[in-house]
Amino acid sequence: MKTPSSLEELIEALRCQPGIGPKSAQRIAYHLLQRDQPGAARLAAALTRALKNIHRCEKCNAFAEDVICTLCSSPRRDAHTLCVVETFADMLMMEQTQCYRGLYFVLMGRLSPLDGIGPKEIHLDRLLERVADAEIREVIVATNFTTEGEATAHYIAELLLARGLKVSRIARGLPAGGELEYVDSGTLAQAVIERRAVEPS
């Protein structure tokens, strides 16, 4: 018996999500259709709303519903410091530490030439526009301590140092190969507090 085409399409759509293989995608699809059709409808509606309403903040490149996100428009933030992170999840993790009160720029990725991800794909042109703001005095590079994250940090630091900006890198309070999203907030707070300046090579 051939699987209905609409069901095949659903399974394929679920398979494109990180961490979901063919069997998991199949189980989720069957569960939604067989046991939780109201949940499936909520999921479809939520995805439709998110795709319609969520875009990138013009200043920090994070997900937002307004042209400028609430964090960038807040007068309580320190406008002299900019923290560069890889993902929106990393930004939220930084916020949980409650030790950083500056602004952000979210790359939405990291340099990975083997995967075809270069400076353009991680919006480095927009980062350079952002740091052109005379108010910014220090840029904290808070990319992950993976091989790609380190390469991204080095590339960004060289770009910014060439423009006369003060650049620092979060300290290695994080484990080598670690990712911000999975680190406890105390460890991340210590890494931010003990950040070090990046010197020209």
For residue 103, being part of any structural domain is answered with: yes
For residue 58, being part of any structural domain is answered with: no
Distance between CA atoms of residues 152 and 20, nearest Å? 27
102/49 same-domain check: no
Instruction: Map residue 176 onto helix, strand or coil.
Output: coil
Helix or strand run (H / E) with residue 139: strand 138-141
Question: pLDDT grade, residue 126 (50/70/90)?
Answer: very high
pLDDT digits (tens, 9 = 90+) for 8-67: 999 999 998 889 999 999 999 999 999 999 999 999 999 999 999 999 999 999 999 999
Q: How confident is the model at residue 1, as a pLDDT?
A: 66
DSSP letter for each residue of 87-105: SHHHHHHHHHHT---EEEE
CATH of the domain at 145: 3.40.1360.10
pLDDT digits (tens, 9 = 90+) for 70-94: 999 999 999 999 999 999 999 999 9
Across 18-22, 80-84, 108-112, 186-190, least confident range: 186-190
117/26 same-domain check: no
Instruction: With a cut of 90, say whether residue 113 has pLDDT above it.
Output: no
